[in-house]
Structure 1
Amino acid sequence: MNHSQDADDLAHDLGLQHDLQVMARRLLDRRRMLGLMASGGAVALLSACGGGGDSSDSTGTGTGTGTGTGTGTDTGTGTGTGTGTGTTTGSCMVDPTETEGPYPADGSNGSRGSLVNVLSQSGVVRSDLRSSFGGMSGTAAGLPLTLKITLVNVSTNCSPLEGYAIYLWHCTREGEYSLYSTDLLNQNFLRGVQATDSNGECTFVTIFPGCYDGRWPHMHFEVFRSLNTAGSYTNKLLTSQMAMPKDVASAVYAGVSGYSASVSNLSRVSVTSDNVFGDNTSEQIAWQTPTFTGDTTNGHTATISIGIAV
């Protein structure tokens, strides 16, 4: 209730001047009321348009423009080289020069006062070394061994060498050498020459060598440029030796007839104490040792590579 208006209504008999003042005051009050109502309507309108309330009763829209550019470059280069450990496919070594020993029969020394040169004899170029040749007769007994040799050029990435000659010789199962030992002066078995083919390969058929006192079981060889130059030791490119693997030698000596003396001889020597192989590195000894397959009943096949630099 408006208490000022009630008082004016009760004083209606106070004259015109008073009435005019009351009317003017009431008019002013009405204008104020209208102003307040107008203000209240505006507030209500604003409230209805979302000026208040929780998020569940409000909606919003937004527009945005965004642009982005990006460039990236990812490049990589790499080079790699690899070499395997195969003896003829990228990894090989020059065989160390070893002594030819006292029984080479290559024209460099003699036996019983006479020069001995099996390389000049007809029939020395052969694969099977087990029998004597050139008018001599006799066959060396022992466990059969097929030896496959590959000759490679260390200077040209282990490429095979064709047309070279390899002279191979070694002792009997009893540890003796033909043409030198007293009971073998009239025998020339376990010696021979082969030429390498287009793959640098040649093959010898022989026997497993015995072990004589003071030496590790081994084979000797010399390399020549060709069969034509293989008639004398003066033309050789390399003289070296092959070491027999211990496990194979032990099995042969213990299990094959005729090798009994080699058992005790082998027990007194090692490849590292040997007076030929002992000063070589472990890598050189491994390179000089053939790889064997087979057994003591049917014999063995062995493979080895020989490296020279030409």
Structure 2
Amino acid sequence: MHHDHDHDLGLAHDLSRLQLQALQRRGALRWLLGAGAAGLAGGSALCLSGCGGGGSEAGSSTSSSSGSSSSSGGSSSSGGTTTTTSGCSVVPEETAGPYPGDGSNTSNGSIANALALSGIVRSDIRSSIAGATGTATGVPLQVIIELVNTNASCADLSGYAIYLWHCDALGRYSMYSSGVTAENYLRGVQSTGTDGTAVFQTIYPGCYAGRVPHMHFEIYRSANTATNWNNKLRTSQLCFPSDINTAVYATSGYGQSAANNNAISLSSDGIFSDGYSTQLCTVTGSVSAGYVATLRVGISA
């Protein structure tokens, strides 16, 4: 679903200029399931296992589809790879999917590495950068990720970097998907502040066939090391309450998202079916005002 770019200027140009963790049990399996989808790069927005999809979710809280809302918390426990220390849990390792744009694969014959783009360190990820001019449209969404240390009583981790990426309202991934191979929107890197948070301004992702609505993220020790997948500390995904998905997909501009969303749930999704309690965002807001999604992410630092 995405494309790739060759760029000489990279993150080192924006700043001042370990090894990839082996995918854990369920991440490895999902990559095998999704590997075949990598061959669809440049095709339709269908991903077998590593990218996105939609559906009602088990254990989500309630909210109104039209007014302001607050939803959070699934009742399912997180997967077997998650450990708990002092009240916070290590977020499960998940596949990056076929469209990471982190230098780990190619699109249209070239290495796809958004992390090498000048300007990739940014909070607002709705527009393309480095000469590309497209802008993703959809219901506004602010994503706030708080990174904490499970080995230190959930202390906030400052100075780390989070690379966030997701599909657009039509389920397409920039850099890979047909029609947006020349774009690099909905991808960006933010450093965590003294409160451990990284904040992204984006749009609510679409729902494509085979996956619940979700976003991908990678954690790096610093923005200086967030230049290539080889340096990442952890890869995971986040998801959203079903009532919020339903409210968003009742609006225009989201294509087949409503139908795709109705065909799957968190309990049947290939990534989240074994647990999602540490990956389900708390969401507040409304379609008219936009939403804010927050998630506490634990790592063993």
| Residue matched to 1:227 | 223
**SS of aligned partner of 1:149:** strand
Task: Give the AA of the match of 2:98.
Answer: P
Counterpart among 186, 197, 200 of residue 201 in structure 1: 197
Shift of 1:260: 3.9
**SS of aligned partner of 1:183:** coil
| Residue matched to 2:114 | 118
Is 2:159–2:191's contact at 8 Å kept on the other side of the alignment? yes
Counterpart among 256, 260, 268 of residue 261 in structure 1: 256
Provide Cα deviations, 1:271-299, integer angstroms capped at 9, x if missing partner. 0110111123xxxx122011111101111
| Residue matched to 1:239 | 235
Q: Do residues 296 (structure 1) and 287 (structure 2) align?
A: yes
Provide Cα deviations, 1:104-128, integer angstroms capped at 9, x if missing partner. 0000001011111010111000000
| Residue matched to 2:50 | none
4+ residue segments displaced more than 2 Å: none
Matched residues, number: 217
Task: Give the AA of the match of 2:258.
Answer: V
| Cα distance in structure 2, aligned partners of 1:279 and 1:161 | 27
Provide Cα deviations, 1:220-252, integer angstroms capped at 9, x if missing partner. 000000011110100100000001111100111
| Residue matched to 1:187 | 183
Shift of 1:149: 1.1
| Cα distance in structure 1, aligned partners of 2:277 and 2:204 | 19
Gaps of 5+ in 1: 1-88
Is 2:160–2:221's contact at 8 Å kept on the other side of the alignment? yes
Gaps of 5+ in 2: 1-84
**Structure exhibiting the larger radius of gyration computed from Cα positions:** 1
Is 2:169–2:255's contact at 8 Å kept on the other side of the alignment? no
| Residue matched to 2:103 | 107
| Residue matched to 2:152 | 156
Greater RCO, 1 or 2 (C-alpha within 8 Å, sep 6+): 2
| Cα distance in structure 1, aligned partners of 2:244 and 2:254 | 13
RMSD (CA atoms): 1.1
**SS of aligned partner of 2:158:** coil
| Cα distance in structure 2, aligned partners of 1:104 and 1:225 | 18
| Cα distance in structure 1, aligned partners of 2:158 and 2:143 | 18
**SS of aligned partner of 2:249:** helix
| TM-score (normalizing by structure 1) | 0.69
Counterpart among 161, 165, 171 of residue 169 in structure 1: 165
**SS of aligned partner of 1:119:** helix
| TM-score (normalizing by structure 2) | 0.71
| Cα distance in structure 2, aligned partners of 1:216 and 1:146 | 19
Identity of aligned residues (%): 53
